[in-house]
């Protein structure tokens, strides 16, 4: 059953806000600037952009066109398109892989969003006043050992996400993203402007944008490919279900270019929010995941206006986290609607409730279940490996093969009718001959680690 027109995006703007919101997540905001600085600055950015446009753009176009052509949740959309092309409906399992990836990711991701909400509360109530490095480390250790506290904030994040999805595409997702995404952009620009005057801005510019080609190694190139693929949010089901809501008169090619450019600009702008404070206060820019929760609170405690800065910073992260969770949960919710014929309200409640239940195990993996082995690591490590190293690259590879080799040429051309013959030929060549081997390399590298 095709998705009714009433559930389509109202405009390209609302689609772009939803797609960028899904693509820009917490890991994108802190990880992209960090690996950029560690891998050659502007030289790495150039390689990342090449990878994003040669790999990320073709596969994102493929995912959106399959979603719009299939007019259903990812598994049903792929089955519909395969059937229309005279191919086996068993291709629906590729869409199912995307849903499994999304579900696995959101179970762990919801806990991290819970940390962000908790730190937003801490920022509002204390502003991290008087906090030093030891205090920040102890505070974060206290968070990880407080299962009930983590569960409360995780459930709050899921409640916010579920409320948006419960209300539907137009009344829920559209209304949320048209408010939240411009708010996030304004916060990013405002915080970066503040840093320009507060100190450390030039050091951050050097860190991010000074090209050092001596740091470009095969490992750095693979890191760029991986970052380009994962940061755009393909093969997680979210972009395919968003494609199903995309009206026929909206250009997929132009929209994808805007999403990728916006995603990259947000990541670089985030670097100008995070690293000036880090450099100005002599902190470690290579703190990794601990940068947000252990390093930056020390900077907030030391900087003038740090109380307000900390509130705005964690508010920005909250927006990034919630909009990403909306895309992850929406893909699974749409599938339950398609498969079981359940109304949206009931489907949204069922998905969010099940994620909440499994999130308890995820949260316990930070303390009492930390040493419980799930095949080479605790539950969170295993789920992260399973989704990021196996499901995403393999799913992306198969989506590219499906669009390039399985779908009928006429059906593909019809969905991309706005592209010029040369632009279409370029995309078609990339999705057939460049993307599959690149993702095969990522997959092999992932499973061989």
The pLDDT value given to residue 93: 97
For the cut 70, the answer to whether the pLDDT of residue 99 exceeds it is yes
For the cut 60, the answer to whether the pLDDT of residue 439 exceeds it is yes
> Rounded to whole angstroms, how far apart are CA atoms 385 and 216?
25
The pLDDT value given to residue 163: 97
What's the rounded mean pLDDT across residues 399-422?
96
Fold for 5-448, please state it: Hydantoin permease (1.10.4160)
pLDDT in tens, 351-386: 999 999 999 999 999 998 887 777 767 888 888 888
> Rounded to whole angstroms, how far apart are CA atoms 104 and 238?
13
pLDDT in tens, 5-57: 768 999 999 999 999 999 998 878 877 887 887 788 888 888 888 888 898 89
Q: Rg of the Cα trace of the chain?
A: 21
Cα distances from 106 to residues 101, 275, 326, in angstroms, run 9, 27, 10
Cα distances from 132 to residues 125, 138, 412, in angstroms, run 17, 10, 57
- Those residues whose C-beta lies under 8 Å from the C-beta of residue 71, and which sit 6 or more positions away, are 2, 3, 77, 80, 244
Q: How many CA atoms lie within 13 A of 407 on its CB side?
A: 29
In whole angstroms, what separates CA 350 from the centre of its chain?
23
**Residue in the block written with tokens 């994620």:** 355
Q: pLDDT-derived band of residue 2, with 50, 70 and 90 as boundaries?
A: low
pLDDT in tens, 216-274: 888 888 788 778 877 888 899 999 999 999 999 999 999 999 999 999 899 889 989 98
The pLDDT value given to residue 178: 95
> Rounded to whole angstroms, how far apart are CA atoms 307 and 5?
46
For the cut 80, the answer to whether the pLDDT of residue 290 exceeds it is no
Q: How many helices (H) and strands (E) does the chain have?
A: 22, 0
Are 152 and 113 in contact, with CB atoms under 8 Å apart? no
- Those residues whose C-beta lies under 8 Å from the C-beta of residue 104, and which sit 6 or more positions away, are 383, 386, 387, 391
What's the rounded mean pLDDT across residues 387-395?
88
For the cut 90, the answer to whether the pLDDT of residue 210 exceeds it is no
Percentage of the chain modeled with pLDDT above 70? 98
What's the rounded mean pLDDT across residues 397-426?
96
> Rounded to whole angstroms, how far apart are CA atoms 134 and 127?
16
Q: pLDDT-derived band of residue 1, with 50, 70 and 90 as boundaries?
A: low
CB atoms inside a 10 Å sphere around CB 147: 15
> Rounded to whole angstroms, how far apart are CA atoms 67 and 61?
10
Structure-token pair, residue 110: 């919801």
Cα distances from 265 to residues 73, 188, 213, 257, in angstroms, run 30, 10, 22, 12
The pLDDT value given to residue 289: 67
The pLDDT value given to residue 9: 95
Residues 73, 79, 83, 85, CA torsion sign: positive
> Rounded to whole angstroms, how far apart are CA atoms 202 and 195?
10
The pLDDT value given to residue 316: 95
> Rounded to whole angstroms, how far apart are CA atoms 389 and 443?
6
Q: Which carries the bigger pLDDT value, residue 258 or residue 446?
A: 258
Q: Which carries the bigger pLDDT value, residue 33 or residue 431?
A: 431
Average pLDDT over the chain, rounded to an integer: 91
**Residue in the block written with tokens 């919101």:** 21
pLDDT in tens, 108-152: 999 999 999 999 999 999 999 999 989 999 999 999 999 999 999
pLDDT in tens, 149-165: 999 999 999 999 999 99
Residue 403: closest CA among 15, 96, 77, 18 = 77
Q: Which carries the bigger pLDDT value, residue 6 or residue 69?
A: 69
Structural domain spans, the chain: 5-448
The pLDDT value given to residue 4: 73
């Amino acid at each position: 059953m095709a998705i009714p027109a009433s559930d389509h995006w109202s405009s390209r703007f609302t689609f772009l806000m939803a797609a960028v919101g899904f693509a820009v997540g917490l890991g994108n905001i802190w990880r992209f600037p960090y690996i950029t600085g560690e891998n050659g600055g502007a030289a790495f950015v150039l390689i990342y952009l090449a990878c994003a446009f040669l790999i990320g753009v073709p596969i994102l176009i493929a995912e959106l066109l399959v979603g719009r052509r299939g007019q259903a949740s990812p598994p049903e959309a792929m089955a519909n398109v395969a059937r229309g092309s005279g191919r086996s409906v068993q291709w629906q399992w590729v869409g199912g892989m995307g849903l499994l990836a999304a579900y696995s990711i959101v179970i762990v991701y919801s806990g991290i969003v819970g940390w962000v909400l908790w730190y937003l509360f801490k920022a509002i109530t204390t502003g991290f006043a008087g906090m030093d490095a030891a205090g920040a480390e102890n505070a974060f250790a206290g968070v990880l050992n407080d299962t009930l506290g983590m569960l409360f904030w995780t459930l709050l994040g899921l409640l916010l996400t579920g409320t948006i999805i419960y209300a539907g595409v137009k009344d829920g997702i559209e209304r949320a993203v048209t408010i939240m995404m411009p708010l996030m952009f304004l916060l990013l620009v405002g915080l970066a402007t503040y840093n320009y005057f507060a100190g450390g801005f030039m050091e951050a510019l050097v860190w991010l944008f000074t090209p050092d080609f001596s740091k470009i190694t095969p490992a750095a190139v693979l890191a760029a490919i991986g970052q380009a693929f994962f940061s755009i949010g393909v093969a997680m089901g979210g972009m395919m279900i968003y494609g199903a809501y995309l009206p026929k008169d909206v250009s997929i090619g132009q929209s994808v270019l805007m999403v990728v450019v916006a995603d990259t600009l947000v990541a670089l702008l985030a670097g100008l929010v995070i690293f000036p404070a880090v450099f100005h206060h002599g902190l470690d820019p290579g703190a990794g995941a601990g940068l947000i929760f252990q390093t930056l609170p020390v900077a907030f405690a030391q900087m003038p206006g740090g109380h307000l800065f900390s509130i705005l910073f964690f508010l920005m992260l909250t927006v990034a986290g919630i909009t990403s969770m909306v895309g992850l949960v929406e893909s699974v919710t749409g599938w339950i609607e398609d498969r079981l014929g359940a109304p949206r309200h009931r489907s949204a409640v069922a998905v969010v409730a099940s994620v909440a239940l499994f999130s308890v195990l995820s949260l316990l993996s930070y303390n009492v279940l930390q040493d419980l082995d799930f095949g080479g690591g605790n539950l969170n490590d295993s789920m992260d490996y399973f989704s990021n190293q196996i499901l995403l690259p393999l799913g992306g590879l198969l989506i590219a093969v499906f669009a390039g080799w399985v779908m009928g040429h006429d059906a593909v051309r019809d969905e991309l009718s706005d592209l010029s013959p040369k632009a279409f030929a370029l995309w078609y060549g990339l999705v057939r001959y460049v993307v599959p081997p690149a993702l095969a390399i990522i997959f092999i590298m992932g499973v061989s680690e």
